[in-house]
């Protein structure tokens, strides 16, 4: 996999600026037509979205490897960031993407999805094609149907969405999955039907519960991971998995009020855990689950003052997990142990914030030390249960202890710092030791 990063041809050097120029020309054309014929903001945005998504389907055919695609994505992101300037959003090309009233970083997330999917799908094209079709066609169908015909609406973090739009998303995803799996895989027809329904249901829930454009990242990556994990499973296994997922969603939605959280927050937490279960083994899901639980505990006794703290936790957790997945594969190995250490550190940050709050009980302060030791023991044992090549450092417990100590100390001494953007800061602290290990014993290891 590493050798692929050095493939860069003369054709690639020409294609990167050509693709960027084509996107800019298309945006100018859409802006011109919108001004002349009064196209709505959502329609303008979706035209660009569909065009970029469809064009990205041809990247495996025209580019020689991941390096030129990564360069293209970095240039595209830089261009899109300049378009987020206020003047560009109002009068320039940025108005094509940013005329909608809701805040969104969807174009940035879509670009990141293309890079990640391209990098991880070189062996099996269906792992790239189907997720890109879903986020391209299904997302556009949901937005247009919801805007034109949406009558039954439900609340989401940054506004409302419609049941009609969700149904359109499910149907288009199901049809795309059926066609792609039948044409591009050797899966049996029964498998295709069940897997298509599972992917359609999962992606529909993710799209419905996403906010600020995060569906452009989570939907294609989620579909990709589901395909990678379950495409070769037997029909009965797929039925059990689909039933398990449906039961999880129904249960947490039904009892969300008893847990003191919204239905969207309950579904989002469940989707995160299911996605981690899809990407790794059940044992490696234990520490992330502890982090999610510790965050809920911290929210109860030492509430974060940011908007949507639970949904921010889900977004940051998913991005951190995705980061370690891609980071390990970029150097040709697994970093599941660094993933575990990161979530263990975040769990300790949350537990410490809960224990030292003014509303906490005395037993919580007393129990903090034993809790940290339990997290240390659990993390060590879980990492040691993985294959030998996945144990990043030997012995593994010292770096875990150092990471947990740093996490607890920063949370204890700088508790006020975590009142805003808690999840991002907690995982940032928790990633210090794992990142050092990644570079010293991974990237630069001889």
pLDDT digits (tens, 9 = 90+) for 73-128: 888 888 888 876 665 555 556 666 655 555 667 788 888 899 889 888 877 889 99
422 membership: H or E segment, kind and range: helix 422-430
Q: Taking a C-beta distance cutoff of 8 angstroms, is the pair 385, 283 a contact?
A: yes
**The residue to which tokens 């059926």 are assigned:** 178
The distance between the two most distant Cα atoms of the chain, rounded to a whole number of Å, is: 69
- Least confident piece of the model among 49-53, 287-291, 378-382, 420-424: 49-53
The structure tokens listed for 355 are 């224990």
- Pairing between β-strand 153-156 and β-strand 159-162 as defined by DSSP bridges: antiparallel
**The residue to which tokens 């940025």 are assigned:** 94
What is the model's pTM? 0.85
- pLDDT at residue number 2: 45
Q: What's the pLDDT tens digit per position in 245-286?
A: 899 888 988 887 776 777 888 888 888 888 888 888 899 999
For 245-396, strand residue ranges (E) read: none
pLDDT band at 31 (very low <50, low <70, confident <90, very high): confident
Residue 332 or 336, more confident: 336
**Nearest of 171, 167, 165 to residue 142 by alpha carbon:** 165
**Nearest of 18, 23, 21, 134 to residue 68 by alpha carbon:** 18
Mean pLDDT of the chain: 85
Whether the per-residue pLDDT at 155 is higher than 60: the answer is yes
Number of H helices, E strands in the chain: 22, 2
| Mean pLDDT in residue range 166-184 | 93
**Nearest of 111, 109, 125, 114 to residue 228 by alpha carbon:** 125
Calpha distance 75→78 (Å, rounded): 5
Q: Taking a C-beta distance cutoff of 8 angstroms, is the pair 174, 204 a contact?
A: no
- pLDDT at residue number 93: 60
- pLDDT at residue number 446: 43
**Nearest of 20, 25, 158 to residue 80 by alpha carbon:** 20
User: What residue ranges do the domains of the chain occupy?
Assistant: 1-101, 103-279, 283-446
Whether the per-residue pLDDT at 335 is higher than 70: the answer is yes
**Nearest of 433, 441, 213, 249 to residue 341 by alpha carbon:** 433
- pLDDT at residue number 256: 79
């Amino acid at each position: 996999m590493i050798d692929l990063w050095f493939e860069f041809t003369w054709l690639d050097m020409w294609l990167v600026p050509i693709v960027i120029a084509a996107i800019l020309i298309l945006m100018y054309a859409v802006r011109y037509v919108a001004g002349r014929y009064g196209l709505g903001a959502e329609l303008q945005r979706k035209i660009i979205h569909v065009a970029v998504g469809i064009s990205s389907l041809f990247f495996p055919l025209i580019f020689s490897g991941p390096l030129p695609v990564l360069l293209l994505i970095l240039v595209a992101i830089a261009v899109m960031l300049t378009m987020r300037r206020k003047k560009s959003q109002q009068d320039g090309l940025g108005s094509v993407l940013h005329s909608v009233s809701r805040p969104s970083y969807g174009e940035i997330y879509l670009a990141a999805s293309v890079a990640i999917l391209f990098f991880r799908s070189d062996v099996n094209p269906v792992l790239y094609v189907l997720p890109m079709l879903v986020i391209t066609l299904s997302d556009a169908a949901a937005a247009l149907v919801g805007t034109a015909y949406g009558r039954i609406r439900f609340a989401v973090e940054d506004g409302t969405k419609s049941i009609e739009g969700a149904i359109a998303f499910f149907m288009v995803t199901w049809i795309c999955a059926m066609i792609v799996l039948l044409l591009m895989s050797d899966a049996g027809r029964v498998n295709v039907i069940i897997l298509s329904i599972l992917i359609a249901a999962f992606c529909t829930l993710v799209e419905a519960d996403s906010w600020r454009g995060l569906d452009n990242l989570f939907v294609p990556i989620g579909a990709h991971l589901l395909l990678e994990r379950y495409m070769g499973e037997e029909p009965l296994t797929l039925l059990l998995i689909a039933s398990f997922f449906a039961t999880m969603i129904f249960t947490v939605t039904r009892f969300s009020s008893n847990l003191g959280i919204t239905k969207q927050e309950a579904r989002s937490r469940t989707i995160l855990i299911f996605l981690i279960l899809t990407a790794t083994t059940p044992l490696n899901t234990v520490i992330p689950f502890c982090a999610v639980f510790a965050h809920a505990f911290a929210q109860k006794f030492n509430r974060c003052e940011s908007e949507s703290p639970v949904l921010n936790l889900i977004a940051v957790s998913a991005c951190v997990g995705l980061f370690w997945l891609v980071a390990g594969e970029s150097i040709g190995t697994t970093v599941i142990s660094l993933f575990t250490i990161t979530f263990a550190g975040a769990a300790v940050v949350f537990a410490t914030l809960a224990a030292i709050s003014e509303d906490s009980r005395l037993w919580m302060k007393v129990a903090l030390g034993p809790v940290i030791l339990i997290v240390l023991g659990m993390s060590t044992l879980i990492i040691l249960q993985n294959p030998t090549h996945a144990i990043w450092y030997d012995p593994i417990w010292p770096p875990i202890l150092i990471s947990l100590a740093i996490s607890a100390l920063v949370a204890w001494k700088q508790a006020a710092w975590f009142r805003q953007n808690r999840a991002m800061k907690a995982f940032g602290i928790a990633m210090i030791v794992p990142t050092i290990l990644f570079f010293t014993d991974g990237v630069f290891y001889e």
